[in-house]
Amino acid sequence: MELINTYIAPWVLPNQVFPIHCVWKPDKDLSKIVVVIPDGYELSDTLNFVQHNFDKNSNSISIDANDLKSNNYFGIILRYVNIIEDVEKRDAVIITFLNPRDEILNTLRLFTRIVRPKLELLDFPKEIVVTDTSNPKDLISLKILHKGFGTANLSIEVIHSGADISKIDSLYFKVMKEIFERVLGLYEEPSESTEFVQIDDHLVREIAQNILKQPFPENLPFKLDEEDMKQLKELLKDESKKEAVYRIVYSSLRSLLFAALLYYGDRHPVEDIKLIDGKIVATMKDRIDELTVRIKYYDSFDNEYQPLEAKIRVLDRRGPEKQVEFDVPINIEWKKDILKLED
């Protein structure tokens, strides 16, 4: 029996399907194909056949040659359903072609390759000292190794006594808030000036984050219904305010674009790393004695991996008059040891 072509996907992430197929010269002696699937894998789909038998003991599927729609081709689609611990996992899929007497016509071993991004916390301060003259930007620096393969999407939070004390530190949100407040200020009665109107920070951040997550207008996470459109049209009918709205928006575009670039840089500090929420700061309102930086991360197929945690003792030696809220950025230095596909 002569094989013409074989294929197996060069690599996949956990829970991602990968195809395998074989093409051979038609052989009248071919009676059956037996495929032994490694442990931890499941059969997701079949190609060129439907009927088959599955043996749980040997974890194999058996296909009668007469059940092939085309007599010289077959394929399967597998999925590895667990999260791997190492940066990669390889297993053999064994395909055996048999004649009517169960004699082997040909045997093929194809190796799967399951890969993942993997982060390791190399270094972080076990203790920080906060004084009246401390520069918050110099207090917390982590060193993280990114190895493995693929993009790691990070979600960072800072925890104190079970409460999240982190927030997003991005100029993008500050600019968006300024634009929203100045525009809304035009429609506050009875004022006709461009005075700022205070609006909820959380609302601005939520809107901005949703917009940034959806790069295409047709996928924006909100829709204007008919009533919303009527209200918008009514607002813009007021010629005395329309020009001011345009002036505010256009004058803010340069700052907005610059802020967006900075925000993009915050989210993508190095290749294959994406900070989902941008740069994070720990907000210290009162004296605290410890904090934990927790880094959750996912691959591009949304598999979640074991998070990193850095527990840091805090010695707050500020004077009583200095007990004001201040933000401490979470700085990260990245090291890379990326898995090469040709290995």
**Residue 274 placed within a domain:** no
Q: What pLDDT does 191 receive?
A: 46
Round the CA-based radius of gyration of the chain to a whole number and report it: 29
Q: What pLDDT does 182 receive?
A: 60
Percentage of residues of the chain with pLDDT beyond 90? 50
CATH number, domain containing residue 148? 2.60.40.10
Range of the domain at 321: 118-169+279-343
5-14, 176-185, 210-219 — which is least confidently predicted? 210-219
Q: How far is CA 188 from CA 54, 176, 244, in A?
A: 71, 19, 14
Instruction: Select the more confidently predicted residue: 278 or 228.
Output: 278
Region 165-184: what's the mean pLDDT?
63
**Residue 21 placed within a domain:** yes
Q: What pLDDT does 220 receive?
A: 39
Q: What pLDDT does 75 receive?
A: 95
**Residue 271 placed within a domain:** no
Q: Domain check: are 144 and 40 in the same one?
A: no
240-244, 254-258, 278-282, 305-309 — which is least confidently predicted? 254-258
pLDDT in tens, 35-52: 999 999 999 999 999 999
Q: Domain check: are 242 and 147 in the same one?
A: no
Q: Domain check: are 23 and 86 in the same one?
A: yes
Instruction: Select the more confidently predicted residue: 137 or 169.
Output: 137
**Residue 130 placed within a domain:** yes
Q: What pLDDT does 234 receive?
A: 64
Residue 234 region, left (φ>0) first, then alpha (ψ -120 to 50), else beta? alpha
Give buried/exposed letters for 315-343 (b at 16+ CB in 10 A, else e).
ebebeeeeeeebebbbebeeeeeebeeee
Q: What pLDDT does 194 receive?
A: 43
Instruction: Select the more confidently predicted residue: 247 or 156.
Output: 156
Q: What pLDDT does 164 receive?
A: 85
Is 0.75 topped by the overall pTM?
no
Q: Domain check: are 260 and 205 in the same one?
A: yes
CB 13 within 8 A of CB 116: yes
Q: What pLDDT does 260 receive?
A: 55
**Residue 273 placed within a domain:** no
Q: How many domains does the chain have?
A: 3
Tokens representing 59 are 């974890």
Q: Domain check: are 43 and 95 in the same one?
A: yes
**Residue 272 placed within a domain:** no
pLDDT in tens, 266-325: 667 788 888 877 788 888 877 888 999 999 999 999 999 999 999 999 998 877 765 667
Q: Domain check: are 165 and 286 in the same one?
A: yes
**SS3 state at 308:** strand
Domain boundary among 231, 266, 301: 266
Domain boundary among 115, 130, 150: 115
**SS3 state at 234:** helix
Whether residue 221 has pLDDT greater than 50? no
Q: Domain check: are 212 and 296 in the same one?
A: no
Whether residue 219 has pLDDT greater than 60? no
Work out the pLDDT band at 24, boundaries 50, 70, 90.
very high
